[in-house]
Every structure is written in C-alpha cells, then in structure tokens.
Structure 1
C-alpha cells in the first residue's frame, strides 16, 4: 500500500531519471515491508542492512533522486563532514561523487552507528573515519531520546540515555577548508550552528536539515542569522507541503515536529 501511494504521487517526476526509475523498483520490492524491522536491501552493486526499509527508501530518494548533497569541488580529495550519517547512504553517495574524499561520519545513536559501521565494511569502504558520538556544543555528553530508525533526538520522547558528544566547532577548527558540511542532527542544529559561527568561514558548502519540535522554540532565525553572517547564499525547501496549515500543525500525523526544512548554503564564489 505504501509503495502504491508513492507511485501515484511521484511516478511522472521520478521516471525522468535513472535513479528515479531504480527507486520505483525498490519501492515495489521493499515498500511493503513492516515498519521498524531489520531488513537487508540490495541496490545497484551495494547491500545494506537497515532498521526500517521505508525510511531507507525516503533516504534513497533524497540522496540519489533529488541529489540534495550534490556539490562541485576543484579538489579530488575534498574534506566532508557528515553529521548524522545514519546507516551510511550519504557516505556512500559522497564516496561515489569523490572516491578519494576524506570523510568524517558522526552518528549519535549507538544502534544506528553499528549499522553504519557494518554497511561501510560490507561494501568495502574502509577509509571513512566513523565517530560514534553526538555532534554538540561541548564534550560533556547529551541526553538523547531513543528513536526507531532515524528519529533519535535530544527532544525525542523515547527512553532517555546519555550519549558521549563531540564539539563540532572544535573539529572544524582543525581544518583549513571543509568542502561540504552536512548537519542532520534532529533539532540539535539550533545549538550547534551558533556555536560554530566563528569557524564557518572555512566551510564551502553547508547542508542543514532544520527541525522544529512541538513545545520547543522554532528558532529558525537563530540558524539563518548565523548562515547569513558567515557569508553564505542559501536556498530553503521542504517536503511537507501540508494542507490547511492553520489547523494542521504537525509535520506528519502524530509527529513530534511541526516544521522540517532543507537549507542548502554555499559561498557565492563557489
């Protein structure tokens, strides 16, 4: 049923690309699988083990069909920071784009980090530095609400556990240039990005998946102000497009968020 609904909504747009046509086949193959059950998926020459096939399919669409992370670099060995690497789809994409890239992959949720580590190993990707810590504004650790696949968060409603953290600002400060910085950290961006303000001048391309949780400040201006002051141009998009927003305040039915945005930022000379 999920695959059928997807096909009705996306067929004409998706069929225009090779990756889109592959996605339709993947939806037929995996879109009916029960939610939140470990599944082995095969796509192209790769094999992954994922905690939820349906959320993985959405990742495939965002990364391979929509190509949210596609960027150009004059270097064959760009530096990429992947904050919120999840099960490794973004890392895989970056390695296809730039096989010799130097990548740091950060993943806070221990169980998801295990999927990430094993998936890269299974597919012969051995030159990525995996950091199993939460990206945060200090190194004192952070309390995380457990999630089921890709939704563990400092604002999560699941069982709370204390996760070791790394201060992203200090990591960036060790680099002279970061070609691509991806930040998908489920709400923690409203604290982390302002903390990185004084070192964002070395970042060339910045992708932020912005989240606003019910009961918490939305704080979009807090993030955008830092991005503007750092000299970026940016583009904001969303996949919500929900009807009746004055009465429909949730991102999805029964979701804990009321806003999710994709912010793509780049230096004007890039």
Structure 2
C-alpha cells in the first residue's frame, strides 16, 4: 500500500510540489483550511503533471471567489476566497468587531443570504475549476505555520522610545522559509552618545542618567513633545545629560540649564562645550525667593544632592535599596549580593558636604530672558520641586506649555501629599496632567509628572 502524506499550514512552492510529487510509493495531498473553518476546506492531490493548487472544496463545503464588494468574479480573475458551510466557527470570542468583519452575510440571487467567512486569501479559479493560491490581500504572513501580522509587530517596535518608524516584512533569504525582518528609522536623539567623552561626577551616575534620559526618554512621555526651535528650561541639570538629549532631539532648541553646585556646574559647562550644545548655564538654583540657601552635596551621589532642608541620606539609601529589591524581584538575581551590602556600600556615597548656594525665583530669571514661550519646563531638584513652581508668578504661567518633573511624595515627611498638591496646581492652570511610578521605583517616594496645556 502507498504511504499517505498530508501537507497543510503553508503554501506549497513549485520546487517542494515537484519534490513531493516525485516521492516513490507516496500519495501526497495538499490540504487548505483556515482554523475558522474547522479546519480543512479544500484538497488537492499533488501530481507532477499539475501546477501547485489548493484544489477543490471538500464535501459539504462551499467556496466563493468574490471582489471587495462581495460580488462573484469570473473564472481566472483574482478575488478573495470566501467559505460557507456548517463547519464555520461562530466567531471570535470577546471580539465582536473582528467577528463582524470576517463572518458576513452574503446576499444570494434568490433573495436569501449565506453566512461566509472572508479568509483574506487571494485566489483564482483555473481552467480546471481548481483554486490557485496567490497570496494575502493584507500583509498577514505565515511563519512556520503561525499567522503573523507584520503591522502589529511594527506597531510594537514603534512603541520603543528610540524608534521613529518601522516596517516589518517576511523574507526568505536562504531557502529555508520565511523569517521576519524589521527595518527601523531611529528617532532624533536616539543615536548612541559617547559616554567616554562625558564629564561626570561618578561613572555609575553617568550610566544611569544616560539610560534614563536617552534610552527610556523619561521626560518625553505622556504627550510631551519638542517642536522645532523649542525653548527648554533644564532645572536641576546636574552634569547636563538632559540638555545634551534636547540638543540631539531638537538641534535648534534654546536651552537654559540651572545647576547650583560649583563642581557639578563645571562638569555641565564642559559637557555642553564638548558636544557643541548652545546651552546657557545658570550657576544658581531656583526657589521661592532670591537669596542663599544651605545645600547638601553628595559627591558620591551628586544627582541626589539638594536643598539641605529636604536632605535625608537614610531615605536616599532606602530608595536605592528598594530599587535593587525591585530589580531582584524582576529577575536580576545578582542584586541579592548588593542588597546584603547596601548599607555598607552606600554610607560613603552619602557623606554630604554642606554648601551655601545662590537661588533665584524663576520669574526673576524670566524677566531677564524674556522668552515668548517655554515649551518645556523640566524639574528634577530632589524634593524642592514645589519651591521652584512657587517662584513662578501668575503673569508668567501662560508662557509654560509643558512641564515634566520628578515629584517626591512620602507619608509622614515634609513631602506628604505633594503629588496631589502639584496635580491640583497644574490642573487649575489649564494643564492635562499624567502621573506614573515606574515598576522599579514602586514603594519609594519617586513619581514622575507630565503636564501638557
């Protein structure tokens, strides 16, 4: 007795059809059928003297070749394969829109209707009334028998902060079957920055800031954008990583960077000069009123330096420990070693130096700069964010189009209720506000706030 070989799931190309047809002692059959037709719909015996086809319908199955308006097309003309019969599925559970789109009522000449499934496959009848498969009407492809929508894959790629646009196609470059290939266009500002050229205070901070600002793009979320020629205030600039990012994303932006700690402000100046960023460096902080304030500077963790009234090294160590614990819980097993030694390792990093630094209210600065508009007010000032906004007079608020800031809110501390307070303030000023807390910061006082007028 001859062996029986059933093929299905993929279109059979010419060379495979010929090879299978030539197998000695084997009767080979090509079966076609979408899952929605449960399952086999048409059948064709694979013969050397016939071209590849998906054959004719199985008993009890009706097939139609229709145009986009569900009208029959003549033999030899390409159209969409539609299937009717009692074996059709009821639809897609939980997805009535897809069900209505794919399972339709086909008007019949006698005035009745017939329920058909629109396969999305492009076919035509040949002279022998056999169906020739011609491909898809959409961009759906099959990879190893699985349906894949390249458009959906491209949409996920576009969600990556570094990708401006993407296209995905199926290609067979080596004769072993299709594989997905993606083509992407990077966003401006997503090109790698040479960290070796960055003047940093600590290497671990430089890497962290680069990941946060250039890779995760934390300040350009929730509708925050930068138009050409934008004016950006980088408050709490530290070594200037955000200013460098703004220049890459928006090369003609006007940037004002504020950093009151002398050592850090010097690194900021070096960085904007090294990377030819036309930023104006303001070596002072922003607060409610003009004057001088006591500042706690952590040389071992400069980005957590800030107004001495809010300094809390134990809380900062707690934030880092919670961050490490969240990383461990997410699968980074090696974080256990760091957690075990966190207090020991971080104690030196939070040995603070007390400084006296100048501060000014934001409105006094704006009176001197006289901008027509502030496209983005970015604030990261270690618990003093409310003080910065308190220095902005009513007359200047209409200039501000967008705000992106880190907000600290910890029960039982001076910042308790801060997030709700700032949301209410900004909403009263006409902004739409979105707040979030990244998974790795869950359980800490750190939140991000994005506001768009």
1:41-71 CA deviation, whole Å, 9 max, x = no partner?
xx54562021222222221222112212334
Q: 1:136 to 1:164 in 2, by over 3 A?
A: same
1:238 paired residue number: 437
1:206-247 CA deviation, whole Å, 9 max, x = no partner?
10111246742322233222111111111111235567x5xx
What secondary structure, in the 3-state scheme, does the structure 2 residue paired with 1:100 have?
coil
Give the drift of 1:73.
Answer: 4.4
Find 1:140's aligned residue among 285, 291, 306: 291
Contact 2:287 2:362 in 1 (8 A): yes
Q: Could you tell me how far apart the structure 1 residues matched to 2:193 and 2:257 are?
A: 23
| Structure 2: 5+ residue stretches without partners | 1-155, 164-191, 313-351
CA RMSD between the two structures: 2.6
Q: 1:237 to 1:123 in 2, by over 3 A?
A: same
The reply to whether residue 82 of structure 1 matches residue 82 of structure 2 is no
The reply to whether residue 72 of structure 1 matches residue 266 of structure 2 is no
Contact 1:146 1:153 in 2 (8 A): yes
Equivalent pairs, count:
217
Q: Could you tell me how far apart the structure 2 residues matched to 1:205 and 1:166 are?
A: 21
What secondary structure, in the 3-state scheme, does the structure 2 residue paired with 1:209 have?
strand
Matches within 5 A, 1:214-229: 215-218=413-416, 219-229=418-428
Give the drift of 1:153.
Answer: 1.1
The reply to whether residue 156 of structure 1 matches residue 311 of structure 2 is yes
Contact 2:376 2:402 in 1 (8 A): yes
Q: Could you tell me how far apart the structure 1 residues matched to 2:252 and 2:264 are?
A: 25
Matches within 5 A, 1:50-129: 50-70=200-220, 71-74=224-227, 76-125=228-277, 127-129=278-280
Between stretches 205-214 and 116-125, larger displacement belongs to 205-214
Higher relative contact order (CA 8 A, sep 6+): 1
Q: Could you tell me how far apart the structure 1 residues matched to 2:441 and 2:305 are?
A: 23
Q: 1:55 to 1:44 in 2, by over 3 A?
A: closer
Q: Could you tell me how far apart the structure 1 residues matched to 2:428 and 2:407 are?
A: 18
Name the one with the larger strand percent: 2
Find 1:209's aligned residue among 398, 402, 406: 406
Find 2:452's aligned residue among 243, 257, 266: 266
What secondary structure, in the 3-state scheme, does the structure 1 residue paired with 2:306 have?
coil
1:124-168 CA deviation, whole Å, 9 max, x = no partner?
22x211001011111112111112321111122533221011211
Find 1:184's aligned residue among 377, 380, 389: 380
Contact 2:286 2:391 in 1 (8 A): no
Q: Could you tell me how far apart the structure 1 residues matched to 2:391 and 2:439 are?
A: 28
Q: 1:242 to 1:182 in 2, by over 3 A?
A: closer
Give the drift of 1:119.
Answer: 1.4
What secondary structure, in the 3-state scheme, does the structure 2 residue paired with 1:90 have?
helix
2:335 paired residue number: none
Contact 1:134 1:141 in 2 (8 A): no
Give the drift of 1:79.
Answer: 0.9
Whose radius of gyration is greater, 1 or 2? 2
The reply to whether residue 194 of structure 1 matches residue 345 of structure 2 is no
2:124 paired residue number: none
Between stretches 169-178 and 133-142, larger displacement belongs to 169-178
Q: Could you tell me how far apart the structure 2 residues matched to 1:140 and 1:151 are?
A: 22
